[in-house]
Amino acid sequence: MADAGARLAIDAPCCPQCGERMAALDLEGHYGQLIPTDLCTRCHLVWFDAFESVRLSGLGWVQLLRRMQSTGHPESGPLKPALSCPRCASALKAVHNLNRFNRFAALECPRQHGHLQTFTLLLAERGMVRPLAREDVVALAEEQRSACCFNCGAAVESGMERCSHCDSPLVVIDLPRLTVALLMRHAEPLPQAAADRVRWPCHGCGAPMDPTRSARCDRCHHAVVLPSATDLRPLLDQVEPMLRAALPRQARPHGAKLRALRSDPEATAMHRYLRRLKDIFFGP
Protein backbone atom coordinates (compact mmCIF):
# COMPACT_ATOMS: atom_id res chain seq x y z
CA MET A 1 0.00 0.00 0.00
CA ALA A 2 1.39 3.40 -0.94
CA ASP A 3 2.05 5.86 1.84
CA ALA A 4 0.33 9.21 2.15
CA GLY A 5 1.44 11.65 -0.52
CA ALA A 6 1.57 9.23 -3.45
CA ARG A 7 -0.25 11.60 -5.82
CA LEU A 8 1.54 14.41 -7.61
CA ALA A 9 1.18 17.87 -6.12
CA ILE A 10 -0.20 19.11 -9.44
CA ASP A 11 -3.21 16.83 -8.93
CA ALA A 12 -4.25 18.74 -5.81
CA PRO A 13 -6.71 21.64 -6.07
CA CYS A 14 -6.14 25.11 -4.68
CA CYS A 15 -7.31 25.85 -1.15
CA PRO A 16 -10.66 27.69 -1.19
CA GLN A 17 -9.48 29.82 1.74
CA CYS A 18 -5.97 31.02 0.78
CA GLY A 19 -5.72 30.06 -2.89
CA GLU A 20 -2.47 28.11 -2.43
CA ARG A 21 -2.04 24.58 -3.80
CA MET A 22 -3.19 21.97 -1.26
CA ALA A 23 -1.12 18.90 -0.37
CA ALA A 24 -2.28 15.81 -2.27
CA LEU A 25 -2.47 12.76 0.00
CA ASP A 26 -3.47 9.17 -0.69
CA LEU A 27 -4.63 7.78 2.65
CA GLU A 28 -5.40 4.13 3.29
CA GLY A 29 -9.05 3.16 3.42
CA HIS A 30 -10.71 -0.12 4.32
CA TYR A 31 -9.59 -3.18 2.36
CA GLY A 32 -6.44 -1.35 1.25
CA GLN A 33 -8.22 1.16 -0.97
CA LEU A 34 -6.60 4.55 -1.48
CA ILE A 35 -8.63 7.57 -0.38
CA PRO A 36 -7.62 10.75 -2.25
CA THR A 37 -7.42 13.61 0.23
CA ASP A 38 -6.28 17.22 -0.07
CA LEU A 39 -4.96 19.17 2.90
CA CYS A 40 -4.01 22.80 3.43
CA THR A 41 -1.52 22.97 6.30
CA ARG A 42 -1.64 26.77 6.30
CA CYS A 43 -5.42 27.07 6.73
CA HIS A 44 -5.85 23.75 8.60
CA LEU A 45 -8.46 22.48 6.14
CA VAL A 46 -9.13 19.03 4.68
CA TRP A 47 -11.00 18.28 1.44
CA PHE A 48 -12.51 14.84 0.80
CA ASP A 49 -14.08 13.88 -2.51
CA ALA A 50 -17.55 12.32 -2.17
CA PHE A 51 -17.52 12.00 1.64
CA GLU A 52 -14.76 9.42 1.71
CA SER A 53 -13.58 10.28 5.25
CA VAL A 54 -15.86 7.54 6.59
CA ARG A 55 -13.82 4.95 4.67
CA LEU A 56 -10.46 5.71 6.30
CA SER A 57 -8.76 2.77 8.01
CA GLY A 58 -6.82 3.10 11.25
CA LEU A 59 -3.62 3.48 9.25
CA GLY A 60 -5.26 6.18 7.15
CA TRP A 61 -6.07 8.13 10.32
CA VAL A 62 -2.50 7.68 11.55
CA GLN A 63 -1.21 9.11 8.27
CA LEU A 64 -3.59 12.07 8.43
CA LEU A 65 -2.90 12.83 12.10
CA ARG A 66 0.84 12.85 11.42
CA ARG A 67 0.31 15.45 8.70
CA MET A 68 -1.78 17.49 11.11
CA GLN A 69 1.16 17.38 13.54
CA SER A 70 3.43 18.88 10.90
CA THR A 71 1.36 22.06 10.56
CA GLY A 72 3.06 25.21 11.83
CA HIS A 73 1.83 28.08 13.94
CA PRO A 74 -1.46 29.84 13.22
CA GLU A 75 -1.33 31.75 9.96
CA SER A 76 -4.94 32.21 8.86
CA GLY A 77 -7.93 33.51 10.73
CA PRO A 78 -11.60 32.48 10.57
CA LEU A 79 -12.99 30.99 7.39
CA LYS A 80 -14.23 33.43 4.78
CA PRO A 81 -18.01 33.82 4.67
CA ALA A 82 -18.12 32.51 1.09
CA LEU A 83 -15.92 29.66 -0.18
CA SER A 84 -16.01 27.86 -3.51
CA CYS A 85 -15.70 24.17 -4.38
CA PRO A 86 -12.10 23.47 -5.44
CA ARG A 87 -13.41 21.14 -8.18
CA CYS A 88 -16.18 23.13 -9.87
CA ALA A 89 -16.04 26.61 -8.24
CA SER A 90 -19.66 26.33 -7.04
CA ALA A 91 -20.41 28.08 -3.76
CA LEU A 92 -20.01 25.65 -0.87
CA LYS A 93 -23.04 25.37 1.40
CA ALA A 94 -22.90 24.92 5.16
CA VAL A 95 -24.59 21.74 6.39
CA HIS A 96 -25.13 20.15 9.79
CA ASN A 97 -25.41 16.38 9.55
CA LEU A 98 -26.09 13.76 12.20
CA ASN A 99 -24.30 10.43 12.58
CA ARG A 100 -23.98 7.84 15.35
CA PHE A 101 -21.43 10.00 17.17
CA ASN A 102 -23.00 13.47 17.18
CA ARG A 103 -24.10 16.36 14.98
CA PHE A 104 -21.29 17.81 12.89
CA ALA A 105 -20.75 20.65 10.44
CA ALA A 106 -19.16 20.76 7.01
CA LEU A 107 -19.09 22.81 3.81
CA GLU A 108 -20.48 20.71 0.96
CA CYS A 109 -20.36 21.11 -2.79
CA PRO A 110 -23.93 21.36 -4.16
CA ARG A 111 -22.83 19.18 -7.07
CA GLN A 112 -21.63 16.50 -4.64
CA HIS A 113 -17.95 16.78 -5.52
CA GLY A 114 -17.01 16.52 -1.84
CA HIS A 115 -16.82 18.46 1.39
CA LEU A 116 -14.43 20.79 3.23
CA GLN A 117 -13.77 20.70 6.98
CA THR A 118 -11.37 22.15 9.48
CA PHE A 119 -9.14 19.72 11.40
CA THR A 120 -11.40 20.11 14.43
CA LEU A 121 -14.67 19.47 12.61
CA LEU A 122 -13.24 16.45 10.78
CA LEU A 123 -12.37 14.69 14.04
CA ALA A 124 -15.66 15.82 15.59
CA GLU A 125 -17.49 14.08 12.73
CA ARG A 126 -15.93 10.76 13.77
CA GLY A 127 -16.43 11.36 17.51
CA MET A 128 -12.68 11.61 18.19
CA VAL A 129 -12.83 14.88 20.14
CA ARG A 130 -14.91 16.32 22.97
CA PRO A 131 -15.46 19.91 24.16
CA LEU A 132 -12.71 21.48 26.27
CA ALA A 133 -13.97 21.62 29.89
CA ARG A 134 -12.84 23.64 32.88
CA GLU A 135 -11.51 20.44 34.48
CA ASP A 136 -9.28 19.95 31.43
CA VAL A 137 -7.73 23.39 31.90
CA VAL A 138 -7.05 22.57 35.56
CA ALA A 139 -5.44 19.23 34.65
CA LEU A 140 -3.22 20.93 32.07
CA ALA A 141 -2.18 23.54 34.65
CA GLU A 142 -1.16 20.75 37.05
CA GLU A 143 1.10 19.43 34.27
CA GLN A 144 2.45 22.96 33.69
CA ARG A 145 0.91 23.00 30.21
CA SER A 146 -1.53 25.41 28.62
CA ALA A 147 -4.71 24.79 26.68
CA CYS A 148 -4.58 25.46 22.95
CA CYS A 149 -6.87 25.34 19.93
CA PHE A 150 -6.71 21.90 18.33
CA ASN A 151 -7.39 23.37 14.91
CA CYS A 152 -4.73 26.09 14.72
CA GLY A 153 -2.65 25.75 17.89
CA ALA A 154 -3.37 29.23 19.24
CA ALA A 155 -3.36 29.67 23.02
CA VAL A 156 -6.77 29.88 24.69
CA GLU A 157 -7.99 31.22 27.99
CA SER A 158 -10.21 29.50 30.51
CA GLY A 159 -13.91 30.02 29.93
CA MET A 160 -13.68 30.41 26.15
CA GLU A 161 -15.77 28.13 23.95
CA ARG A 162 -14.30 29.12 20.58
CA CYS A 163 -10.82 30.02 19.43
CA SER A 164 -10.30 33.78 19.21
CA HIS A 165 -7.91 33.25 16.29
CA CYS A 166 -9.68 30.82 13.90
CA ASP A 167 -13.16 30.71 15.51
CA SER A 168 -13.10 26.88 15.79
CA PRO A 169 -14.85 25.20 18.73
CA LEU A 170 -12.37 24.38 21.49
CA VAL A 171 -11.94 20.63 21.87
CA VAL A 172 -9.55 18.00 23.21
CA ILE A 173 -8.93 14.46 21.98
CA ASP A 174 -11.35 11.81 23.23
CA LEU A 175 -8.62 9.24 23.87
CA PRO A 176 -10.73 6.04 24.14
CA ARG A 177 -12.77 6.75 21.01
CA LEU A 178 -9.77 7.79 18.96
CA THR A 179 -7.71 4.76 20.03
CA VAL A 180 -10.50 2.35 19.14
CA ALA A 181 -10.81 4.02 15.71
CA LEU A 182 -7.06 3.72 15.15
CA LEU A 183 -6.96 0.00 15.98
CA MET A 184 -8.82 -0.89 12.76
CA ARG A 185 -7.43 -2.21 9.50
CA HIS A 186 -9.00 -4.10 6.60
CA ALA A 187 -12.40 -3.15 8.12
CA GLU A 188 -11.68 -5.28 11.20
CA PRO A 189 -10.31 -4.44 14.65
CA LEU A 190 -6.82 -5.62 15.44
CA PRO A 191 -6.59 -8.80 17.54
CA GLN A 192 -7.18 -8.18 21.23
CA ALA A 193 -3.65 -9.31 22.03
CA ALA A 194 -2.28 -6.46 19.91
CA ALA A 195 -4.67 -3.90 21.41
CA ASP A 196 -3.67 -4.98 24.93
CA ARG A 197 -0.08 -3.93 24.23
CA VAL A 198 -1.07 -0.29 23.65
CA ARG A 199 -0.44 1.77 26.75
CA TRP A 200 -0.59 5.47 27.63
CA PRO A 201 1.61 6.81 30.46
CA CYS A 202 -0.36 8.83 33.00
CA HIS A 203 1.00 12.37 33.19
CA GLY A 204 0.13 12.47 36.88
CA CYS A 205 1.88 9.38 38.31
CA GLY A 206 3.42 7.66 35.28
CA ALA A 207 1.32 4.50 35.60
CA PRO A 208 0.51 2.75 32.27
CA MET A 209 -3.13 3.16 31.22
CA ASP A 210 -5.32 1.31 28.74
CA PRO A 211 -6.27 4.13 26.33
CA THR A 212 -9.15 2.12 24.85
CA ARG A 213 -10.96 1.94 28.18
CA SER A 214 -10.58 5.20 30.06
CA ALA A 215 -9.25 8.74 29.85
CA ARG A 216 -8.57 8.88 33.58
CA CYS A 217 -5.85 7.07 35.54
CA ASP A 218 -7.11 4.27 37.81
CA ARG A 219 -4.28 4.85 40.25
CA CYS A 220 -4.22 8.63 40.79
CA HIS A 221 -7.41 9.63 38.89
CA HIS A 222 -5.51 12.23 36.86
CA ALA A 223 -7.34 13.05 33.62
CA VAL A 224 -5.75 12.58 30.21
CA VAL A 225 -6.05 15.89 28.35
CA LEU A 226 -4.74 16.10 24.78
CA PRO A 227 -5.40 19.52 23.23
CA SER A 228 -3.33 19.07 20.05
CA ALA A 229 -2.42 16.47 17.44
CA THR A 230 1.22 16.72 18.55
CA ASP A 231 0.25 15.15 21.89
CA LEU A 232 -0.74 11.97 20.02
CA ARG A 233 2.77 11.15 18.78
CA PRO A 234 3.49 8.47 21.48
CA LEU A 235 0.21 6.72 20.69
CA LEU A 236 0.74 6.83 16.92
CA ASP A 237 4.27 5.46 17.34
CA GLN A 238 2.85 2.42 19.16
CA VAL A 239 -0.10 1.79 16.87
CA GLU A 240 1.42 2.30 13.41
CA PRO A 241 3.75 -0.77 13.44
CA MET A 242 0.86 -2.97 14.59
CA LEU A 243 -1.36 -1.69 11.79
CA ARG A 244 1.30 -2.20 9.12
CA ALA A 245 1.87 -5.76 10.35
CA ALA A 246 -1.84 -6.64 10.22
CA LEU A 247 -2.74 -8.90 7.30
CA PRO A 248 -6.19 -9.02 5.66
CA ARG A 249 -8.43 -11.95 6.50
CA GLN A 250 -7.76 -14.74 4.05
CA ALA A 251 -10.59 -16.09 1.94
CA ARG A 252 -11.62 -19.65 2.74
CA PRO A 253 -10.60 -22.31 0.20
CA HIS A 254 -13.15 -22.97 -2.53
CA GLY A 255 -15.75 -25.45 -1.31
CA ALA A 256 -14.75 -25.21 2.36
CA LYS A 257 -18.22 -24.12 3.47
CA LEU A 258 -19.89 -26.87 1.46
CA ARG A 259 -17.61 -29.53 2.93
CA ALA A 260 -18.35 -28.26 6.44
CA LEU A 261 -22.10 -28.55 5.83
CA ARG A 262 -22.01 -31.90 4.02
CA SER A 263 -22.43 -33.89 7.22
CA ASP A 264 -25.13 -31.60 8.62
CA PRO A 265 -28.48 -32.06 6.81
CA GLU A 266 -30.17 -29.49 9.06
CA ALA A 267 -27.92 -26.77 7.59
CA THR A 268 -29.42 -27.05 4.08
CA ALA A 269 -31.79 -24.42 2.69
CA MET A 270 -34.44 -27.11 2.02
CA HIS A 271 -34.40 -28.22 5.64
CA ARG A 272 -34.82 -24.62 6.85
CA TYR A 273 -37.73 -24.11 4.43
CA LEU A 274 -39.54 -27.25 5.58
CA ARG A 275 -38.94 -26.36 9.22
CA ARG A 276 -40.42 -22.91 8.63
CA LEU A 277 -43.52 -24.45 7.03
CA LYS A 278 -43.90 -26.81 9.99
CA ASP A 279 -43.75 -23.85 12.42
CA ILE A 280 -46.38 -21.95 10.43
CA PHE A 281 -48.93 -24.78 10.20
CA PHE A 282 -48.27 -26.74 13.37
CA GLY A 283 -46.65 -24.22 15.66
CA PRO A 284 -43.10 -24.20 16.99
pLDDT on residue 255 = 59
Distance CA 167, CA 52 (A): 25
Q: If pLDDT is split at 50, 70 and 90, which confidence band does 278 have?
A: confident
Q: What is the CA radius of gyration of the chain?
A: 23
Which of 112 and 73 is assigned the larger pLDDT?
Answer: 112
Of residues 171 and 51, more confidence is placed in 171
74-83: average pLDDT: 83
Q: Tell me, rounded to whole angstroms, the distance of Cα 95 from its chain centroid.
A: 19
Q: Domain-by-domain residue ranges, the chain?
A: 9-245
pLDDT of residue 244 exceeding 90, the answer is yes
Q: Does the pLDDT of residue 165 top 60, yes or no?
A: yes
pLDDT for the residue 12: 83
pTM over 0.85: no
CA distances from 160 to 134, 170, 171, 172, 190 (A): 10, 8, 11, 13, 38
Question: Residue 60 pLDDT more than 60?
Answer: yes
Most confident of 54-58, 223-227, 279-283: 223-227
